[in-house]
Amino acid sequence: MLHRLAGLALAATVLLVPASVASAAPVTVNLRVEGPTSTLFEGPVTTDVRPFQFTAGNDTAPHECDATAANAGSSPVPVPTRGAAITAASLAVPFTTIGTFSASLGSPSFDQIAGQSTAFDPATNSFLVEYKNGVSASVGACGDPIATGDDVLFAYGSGNERLLRLTGPAAATIDVPFTVTVRDAASGNPVAGATVAGATTDAAGNATVTLTQSGVQRLKAEASNAVRSNALVVTVPAREGGAVLPQPRPTPAAPDRTAPRARLLSPRNGATYRAARFVPRTIRVAVDESGSGVRTVKLRLTRRVGNRCFSFSGRRERFIGAKCGRGFFFTVSDRAPVSYLLPQRLGRGRYVLDVEAIDRAFNRDAVGDRGRNRSVFQVR
179: domain CATH number is: 2.60.40.10
Residues 211, 84: one domain?
no
pLDDT in tens, 207-255: 999 999 999 999 999 999 999 999 999 999 987 655 555 555 556 667 7
The verdict on residue 252 lying in a domain is no
Q: Are 159 and 128 in contact (CB under 8 A)?
A: no
Rg (CA), the chain: 24
Average pLDDT over residues 271-288: 90
Domain around 289: 261-379
Identify the domain boundary among 140, 160, 180: 160
Q: The domain spanning residue 50 has which CATH number?
A: 2.170.130.30
Helix intervals (H) in the chain = 82-92
Rounded-to-integer distance, Cα 312 and Cα 58, Å: 31
Q: What is the mean pLDDT of the chain?
A: 86
User: Residue 47 — left, alpha, or beta (φ > 0 → left; ψ -120 to 50 → alpha)?
Assistant: beta
How sure is the predictor about 69, in pLDDT bands with cuts at 50, 70 and 90?
confident
CA distance 334 to 338: 9
Tell me whether residue 206 is in a domain: yes
| Whether 16 and 145 share a structural domain | yes
Is there a single domain that holds both residue 173 and residue 227? yes
21-53 tens-digit pLDDT: 344 678 999 999 999 999 999 999 999 999 999
Task: Examine the domain organization and report whether 132 and 202 are in the same domain.
Answer: no
Question: Is residue 247 in a domain?
Answer: no
- Backbone dihedral angles phi then psi of residue 143, each to the nearest 5 degrees: -115, 5
Share of the chain above pLDDT 70, in %: 88
Same domain, 209 and 337: no
Question: For position 38, what pLDDT does the model report?
Answer: 92
Q: How many domains does the chain have?
A: 3
Among 143, 160, 177, the domain-final residue is 160
* 248 assigned to some structural domain: no
Banded pLDDT at 129 (limits 50, 70, 90): very high
Task: Based on the fold, state whether residues 133 and 19 are members of the same structural domain.
Answer: yes
Task: Tell me, yes or no, whether 188 and 154 share the same domain.
Answer: no
Are 267 and 217 contained in the same domain?
Answer: no
249 belongs to a structural domain: no
pTM above 0.85, yes or no: no
- Among candidate residues 175, 254, 159, the one with its CA nearest the CA of residue 214: 175
139 and 167 part of one domain: no
- 131 near 164, Cβ under 8 Å? no
- Nearby residues of 25 by Cβ (< 8 Å), 6 or more positions away: 48
CA 351 and chain centroid, separation: 29
User: Does position 15 have pLDDT exceeding 60, yes or no?
Assistant: no
Is 123 in the same domain as 45?
yes
* Stretch 275-295: mean pLDDT: 87
Do 8 and 147 have their domain in common?
Answer: yes
The SS3 assignment for 361 reads coil
Q: CA 293, CA 296: separation in Å to the nearest integer? A: 9
Q: Is residue 21 part of a domain?
A: yes
Q: What pLDDT is attached to residue 242?
A: 54
The pLDDT tens digits for 160-202 are 999 999 999 999 999 999 999 999 988 889 999 999 999 999 9
253 falls within a domain: no
Q: How far apart are CA 121 and CA 257, in angstroms?
A: 49
CA angle 74, 76, 79 (to 5 degrees): 145
Residue 252, burial from CB neighbour count under 10 angstroms (0-12, 13-18, 19+): exposed
Judgement on whether residues 267 and 221 belong to the same structural domain of the protein: no
Give me the pLDDT at residue 10, please.
37
Return the bridge partners of 272, or none. 378
Residue where a domain terminates, one of 160, 182, 211: 160
CA distance 352 to 343: 18
- Is the per-residue pLDDT at 334 higher than 90? no
Does the residue 256 lie in any domain? no
* d(C-alpha 33, C-alpha 22), whole Å: 28
